Amino acid sequence: MDSLFPVETFMPPGFHYFADFITAEEEIELVGEIEKVPLKTFIFQGYEAKRRVASFGYDWSFTNRKLTKGKAVPESFKPLIDKVSHQLSFKADEIAEVLLTEYPVGSVINWHRDAPPFDLIAGISLQSDSIFRLRPYDKAKQGRNSILSIPLRRRSLYVISGETRTSWEHSITPVTALRYSVTLRTLKPGLMMTH
């Protein structure tokens, strides 16, 4: 597995990182496709976050805590879905949500775990690098030395599953240049996917 980290660097089970997952040409195409999509300011519990998003497939409402079927995933993102599902050995139709995010300079993502209905999370970084952080979700295990900082290079793929998904939370430090990401999520086993 390609990695920027030395072998001795601890990563929690279920976290995987693939450098240069997409080519420079694929990155240009994806950014161009994102720029065609109307993005809206992300609202979390009444607060306007400093980033803009568009969601396709299943959508989780943080207001009423419900999962609903949203807009169909644009065909232009299907090659990326196929590439990720092939890399991770699952079927492309298991992707339940595609989230496009634009991060202007200075925007952050605070500590959190992703919405409860989702299982595996795969993120592709576009146009600039960022710092991804992990820490135990259990407050008793948190401390300055429990935070792992991971450089996410542009064109890389990171994956959160298993123990990292359930027992860790993550954040992104303020970005220093305009960044885009495409986040793909599967549903937890047992949740019905109706079309």
Provide the β-strand partners of residue 90: none
pLDDT, tens digit, 9 for 90 and up, residues 146-194: 999 999 999 999 999 999 999 999 999 999 999 999 999 999 887 654 4
The pTM assigned to this predicted structure is: 0.88
3-state secondary structure of 101: strand
CATH 3.30.70.260 assigned to 15-62+69-187: no
3-state secondary structure of 4: coil
pLDDT, tens digit, 9 for 90 and up, residues 16-69: 999 999 999 999 999 999 999 999 987 665 566 688 999 999 877 666 767 878
pLDDT for res 46: 56
pLDDT for res 59: 78
Mean pLDDT for the stretch of residues 105-115:
90
The burial of 123, by beta-carbon neighbours within 10 Å (0-12 exposed, 13-18 middle, 19 or more buried), is given as buried
Tell me the CA end-to-end span of the chain in Å, nearest whole number.
Answer: 35
